[in-house]
Each structure stands twice: as structure tokens, then as C-alpha cells.
């Protein structure tokens, strides 16, 4: 099974499941960097908090990031300026810088050992572009960044990439789970209680959360779940928000290097989808983390191919690289390219659509939500307001992203099953099978035991696809992901795939 490099060397604290009713100022759903940062900051502000995590803090996207801490966003600076204006572009850069500063402040003040280091970041022409056709757009990015007070440098030849590009100083890298584990320890206790293995089943009018082990009554609710589970409170808002979001799978390989191939730093090329590289050296250990090969979740048949492609490309960049990790994560993009952070209804907050900047925008979300709850003004409130309407740039993206839903919804119902019988489901894999005229999602574990569930995604009814590399059921419409036995791994789905009566080993 693919495993993140961050999961192997961290002792994360354990927290109990909710087993009582309680009342708090703020309930936070989700134990990734967004939820934990929010809970930590709210506790510091003197509020009582309950953080509720369905599995274990850090298990989801925070544990599957590549942990680039940067002001360089997936939507380029010149694109933001052209679509929203230069003031917004300036604000987005400042927001990223504020998030990195907040992480660094926490590292120093809380004495968190998480390998935090300031390094340069390089945005450069594509690795495969021998003609450097990105000159004018990269030059525009540099000019705008300089105007906004960022001391970038235009380089004819970016180190290692040997391409035209822009150097961004004072970016950073860290170990995301070491950071999260220690921040969680410091958040817990006093006015903040953390519960793992606790599913939120429903919410009554945004004030009472009905959970697997009790009820939580709150004055404020924060949905910090990567894809907000707003369907728990109202189906219509959930559908409205979902049409503005698109989930993509991104793939990563980690490697040991015999010798350093460049000074530690971060690299992104400008291809679409782009490739991203992180180099780190600690003593005699030199490592590379290389990612890319993105596609919409659930829309690639052979999910092992991206790992092979990344490994081959990394070995061209770093000959002798020894691949020792591979994993995938999910990024969520919005219809206009900027995240959605703020109130969606009275005293209910969401934070999503971070694209490739989950660590920085997740941290920024904590700052913004803390300020909103305590009544403090925040400079980025209007920029990332979830209810914003942007007609010039957002309309076309909205149409193209959501055209997948009706196509896959209808197409997958007409397509034949993957195999003809349960006997054809190989060990360690899953297939869609037709039983008595009904499609079933069947998984056979390595020991031959069979588990059958409904293949119908509980979000909006699309047929899930088997992800061979991750051994998950993925929805091609809106990116929900399920374990082989149908449990929800990632939203927007909130309920597991329905069990099927056929469970015997065959």
C-alpha cells in the first residue's frame, strides 16, 4: 500500500472518542491542519472548543501533503491580477506570507521540533520546455511580486531546472505531522477537548451536533473537513457549495539521494498540471519529494501509472535517486481559483478550496476564523469570502468543472460491469460486478475474503471507480473517496457506501 513519508516517524497523541454530551463556544469538525490550528488559536483566545475528528488527527490530507510553505499559489500572480485586480493579487501574496510567519511563530513559541527551515522557492518554465516559452508570463509574475514588496529575482537559469524562472526568497518547509502532533498536544486541555474516532451524524440548525457518542452544543461551528460536509445541516447549501469545488488527485514519490543535487528548496514548473519538487538535506541524509500527474479524482483507470511516471522523471532530474515512498493526496480547487474561507451562514464557517496550498491556507483559515469569532477585523475577509460572486473569470470554470457530473452520472450507469462474476475479482483488488441485474462494488482482500457494497456514491449518486494504487473506491463526479469496505475517507460524501448482502468469500 502507498504510504506517506510523514507517517513513518512521528508519535502522534491519541484522543478518546466522544462519550458524553457537552456544551462549548466553538465546535470544530476536522483534525487536519485547518481544524487543529483553528482550535489552538481559539483556545489561546479564551474560548472553549471541541474538536471532532472522524478518524485520527492528521490521517487525511495533512498527512499526505508535500508540505510546501509558500506564497506561490496554483493560480499565478498575473492571473489573479488580471481576473480580480492587483489589490487582490497583493492580498493573496500577503496572506501566504502571514501564514508562513504564523507557523514559524508557533514553532518558536511552542518549541515545536518539526524541521522547519526557510528556503528559496523557484517558479520556472516546464521541465520539458526546451524553448522557454514562459518568459513573458514569468516576467509578469516577477514584476507584480516586486511591486507588492516581495524581493523576487528573475533568473535566466533556475538552479537544477536549468530553465527561465523566478526565485522567491524566504519560503519554507517543515515536517507536517511533527508540527501537527505537537500543535495538537498544545491545543488539548484546558478549554479545548479533542475527540478522535468521532463521526458527526447531523447538525440541528448549526448549534447541536449529533455524534456517534454524544451531542455537542455550540455557539459557533467550523467545518474544517477539506470538503465541507454542509449536507449535515442543509442539502441545498451543500449542493450550491459543491458546484464551486472540484477534487483532484495528486501523486507523490519520495526518494533518498546519494549526494545533494542542489541546495534545499522548493520548485514548481508552469505546466498544467504542474510538477513540484522539494529538496532537503539533514546531515548526511539527502531527500527529494516529487509530485504531480494530477487528474480529477476517480477519472483515471490505472492509478499506478502516475507513480511510475513520477519516478522516471525524478530519476532524470536526480540520477541515482532511490524511491522509498509513494503516496497520493487530494487537492480541492474552486471555480475561480481562490479558496473559500469564512461564514456560509450565521456563526457557521467553512475553509476549503486550497488547491496546492493546503498548509498555508489551512493556517490562514485558523487566523481568519479566530478573528471572526472574537469580532476582530481581518484584512483577507472579503478576498476569500465564500459568498463572493466573480462573473468575469469564474463563469467558464464553473461550467467546465461541473460538466463532469451529468456525464459520469449517466455514462457509468450504462457502462457494463468490470467483470462478469465475483469469482473474477482478484485478491487485493476491487471491481464493479453485476449480480442479479444490480451493480455491486466488490473487494477481495489478500486472504480471499470478499466485501460487497453498493457502488452508488452517497453524495449525489454517481458510480464509484476502483483506485488500484490506493485501494479505494473513488467517485469521478465530485471526488468522494471510500475505503474498500465502503467507509468514507474523503467528502463531500457523508455516509458510507451501503452494504450488500453478498459478503461470502468466493
Specify the 3-state DSSP secondary structure of 264.
Answer: coil
Considering only the C-alpha atoms of the chain, give the largest distance between any 2 of them, rounded to a whole number of Å: 66
The pLDDT assigned to 45 comes to: 93
The pLDDT assigned to 226 comes to: 74
12-64+177-244+337-400 and 415-490 share one fold: no
b/e map of 141-152 (b: 16 or more CB within 10 Å)?
bbebbeebebeb
Residue 331 C-alpha cell reads as 487537492
Decide if 379 contacts 94 (C-beta within 8 A): yes
The pLDDT assigned to 376 comes to: 86
The pLDDT assigned to 229 comes to: 58
Distance of alpha carbon 73 from alpha carbon 333, whole angstroms = 12
Distance of alpha carbon 481 from alpha carbon 457, whole angstroms = 9
Residues constituting the chain? 506
DSSP result, 366-435: HHHHHHHHHT---TTTTTS-TT---HHHHHHHHHHHHTHHHHHHHHHHHSPPSBSSGGGS-TTEEEEEEE
Give which of 139, 143, 140 is closest to 156, Cα–Cα: 139
The pLDDT assigned to 225 comes to: 87
pLDDT tens-digit profile, the chain (506 residues): 578 888 888 899 999 999 999 999 999 999 999 999 999 999 999 999 999 999 999 988 888 898 999 999 999 999 999 998 888 999 999 999 999 999 999 999 999 999 999 999 999 999 887 666 789 999 999 999 999 989 999 999 999 999 999 999 999 999 999 999 999 999 999 899 999 999 998 888 768 999 989 999 999 999 998 776 544 554 345 546 667 888 888 999 999 999 899 999 999 999 999 999 999 998 888 999 999 988 888 888 888 899 999 999 999 999 989 999 999 888 888 888 999 999 988 899 999 999 999 999 999 999 999 999 999 888 898 899 998 865 344 443 434 555 555 555 555 555 677 887 888 888 999 998 988 777 899 999 999 899 999 988 887 778 889 998 888 999 887 788 999 999 988 877 878 998 886 543 34
Indicate the domain borders of the chain: 12-64+177-244+337-400, 415-490
Can you give the pTM of this predicted structure? 0.80
Decide if 390 contacts 397 (C-beta within 8 A): no
Per the CATH hierarchy, to which homologous superfamily does domain 12-64+177-244+337-400 belong?
FAD/NAD(P)-binding domain (3.50.50.60)
Decide if 368 contacts 341 (C-beta within 8 A): yes
Specify the 3-state DSSP secondary structure of 211.
Answer: strand
Distance of alpha carbon 392 from alpha carbon 405, whole angstroms = 23
Distance of alpha carbon 307 from alpha carbon 406, whole angstroms = 30
Per the CATH hierarchy, to which homologous superfamily does domain 415-490 belong?
Rieske [2Fe-2S] iron-sulphur domain (2.102.10.10)
Q: Could you give phi then psi for residue 203, rounded to 5 degrees?
A: -130, 130
Decide if 130 contacts 176 (C-beta within 8 A): no
Amino acid at each position: 500500500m502507498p504510504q506517506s513519508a510523514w507517517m513513518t516517524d512521528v508519535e502522534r497523541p491519541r484522543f478518546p472518542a466522544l462519550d458524553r454530551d457537552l456544551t462549548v463556544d466553538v465546535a470544530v469538525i476536522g483534525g487536519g491542519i485547518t481544524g487543529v490550528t483553528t482550535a489552538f488559536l481559539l483556545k489561546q483566545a479564551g474560548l472553549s472548543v471541541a474538536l471532532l475528528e472522524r478518524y485520527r488527527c492528521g490521517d487525511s490530507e495533512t498527512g499526505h501533503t508535500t508540505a510546501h510553505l509558500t506564497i506561490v499559489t496554483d493560480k499565478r500572480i498575473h492571473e489573479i491580477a488580471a481576473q480580480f485586480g492587483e489589490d487582490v493579487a497583493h492580498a493573496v501574496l500577503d496572506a501566504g506570507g502571514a501564514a508562513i510567519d504564523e507557523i514559524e511563530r508557533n514553532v518558536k513559541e511552542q518549541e515545536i521540533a518539526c524541521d522547519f527551515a526557510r528556503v528559496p522557492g523557484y517558479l520556472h518554465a516546464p521541465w520539458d520546455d526546451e524553448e522557454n516559452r514562459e518568459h513573458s508570463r514569468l516576467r509578469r509574475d516577477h514584476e507584480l511580486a516586486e511591486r507588492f514588496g516581495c524581493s523576487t529575482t528573475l533568473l535566466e537559469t533556475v538552479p537544477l531546472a536549468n530553465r527561465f524562472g523566478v526565485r522567491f526568497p524566504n519560503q519554507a518547509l517543515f515536517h507536517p505531522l511533527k508540527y501537527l502532533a505537537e500543535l495538537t498536544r498544545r491545543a488539548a486541555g484546558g478549554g479545548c477537548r479533542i475527540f478522535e474516532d468521532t463521526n458527526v451524524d447531523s447538525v440541528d440548525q448549526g448549534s447541536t451536533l449529533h455524534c456517534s457518542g454524544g451531542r455537542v452544543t455550540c455557539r459557533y461551528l467550523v467545518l474544517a473537513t477539506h470538503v465541507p460536509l454542509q449536507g449535515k445541516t442543509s442539502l441545498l447549501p451543500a449542493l450550491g457549495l459543491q458546484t464551486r469545488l472540484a477534487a483532484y488527485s495528486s501523486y507523490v514519490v519520495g526518494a533518498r539521494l546519494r549526494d545533494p543535487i542542489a541546495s534545499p528548496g522548493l520548485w514548481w514548473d508552469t505546466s498544467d498540471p504542474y510538477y513540484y519538487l522539494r529538496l532537503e538535506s539533514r546531515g548526511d541524509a539527502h531527500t527529494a519529494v516529487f509530485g504531480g500527474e494530477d487528474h480529477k479524482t476517480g477519472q483515471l483507470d490505472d492509478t499506478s501509472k502516475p507513480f511510475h511516471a513520477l519516478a522516471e522523471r525524478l530519476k532524470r532530474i536526480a540520477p541515482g535517486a532511490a524511491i522509498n515512498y509513494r503516496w497520493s493526496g487530494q487537492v480541492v480547487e474552486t471555480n475561480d481559483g481562490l479558496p473559500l474561507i469564512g461564514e456560509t451562514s450565521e456563526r457557521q464557517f467553512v475553509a476549503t478550496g486550497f488547491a496546492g496550498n493546503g498548509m498555508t491556507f489551512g493556517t490562514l483559515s485558523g487566523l481568519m476564523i479566530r478573528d471572526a469569532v472574537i469580532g476582530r477585523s481581518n484584512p483577507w475577509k472579503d478576498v476569500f469570502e465564500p459568498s463572493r460572486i466573480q462573473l468575469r473569470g469564474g463563469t467558464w470554470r464553473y461550467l467546465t468543472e461541473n460538466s463532469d457530473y451529468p456525464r459520469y452520472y449517466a455514462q457509468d450507469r450504462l457502462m457494463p460491469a468490470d467483470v462478469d462474476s465475483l469469482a473474477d475479482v482478484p485478491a487485493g483488488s476491487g471491481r464493479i460486478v453485476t449480480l442479479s441485474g444490480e451493480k455491486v462494488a466488490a473487494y477481495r482482500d489478500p486472504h480471499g475474503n470478499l466485501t460487497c457494497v453498493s457502488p452508488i456514491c452517497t453524495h449525489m449518486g454517481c458510480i464509484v471507480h476502483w483506485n488500484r494504487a490506493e485501494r479505494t473506491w473513488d467517485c469521478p463526479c465530485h471526488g468522494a473517496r471510500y475505503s474498500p469496505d465502503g467507509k468514507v475517507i474523503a467528502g463531500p460524501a457523508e455516509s458510507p457506501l451501503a452494504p450488500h448482502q453478498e459478503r461470502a468469500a468466493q
